[in-house]
Amino acid sequence: MVSTPVPEVPAAPPLSQNVSEKALHLIIEAKELTWARITEDHHSSSQVLLKPGERIERRASDFFELDIGNAGGIDLIFQGKPLGSIGKRGQVIHMRLPEKGQERKTP
């Protein structure tokens, strides 16, 4: 019996490849009920209503823009570092990470 050679199928790229391209990492942890709008790079924004104890993670290549409806109700961790207080309970804020002038340098 003659066997037919099976063509090689190229392996799929590793799943981590897309994540590594997006070097910025943001974690939002809710202490109180908090509304947030998050924009990653220049893509469309997403809105979330976080309940106490909820946590979300986002990745971006260049920047995040955030609108927070209760600045005292969340903790932000950017690039593995807690940002501390970003505002008071009930305060509405707009922020960009990294801040202008602190953009990530590409090698």
pLDDT tens per residue across span 29-74: 999 999 999 999 989 899 999 999 999 999 999 999 999 999 999 9
pTM for the full model? 0.74
Query: Could you tell me if residue 70 is left (phi over 0), alpha (psi between -120 and 50 degrees) or otherwise beta?
Result: beta
Residue 22, pLDDT score: 80
As a whole number of angstroms, the distance between CA 78 and CA 26 comes to 5
Cβ neighbors of 73 (< 8 A, separation 6 or more) are 30, 31, 32, 33, 34, 50, 89
What pLDDT shows up at residue 1?
A: 58
Q: What average pLDDT does the structure give for the chain?
A: 84
Cβ pair 50, 57 in contact under 8 A = no
Band (99; pLDDT cuts 50, 70, 90) = confident
Domain boundaries, the chain: 21-97
Whether the CA torsion 91, 33, 23, 79 is positive or negative: it is positive
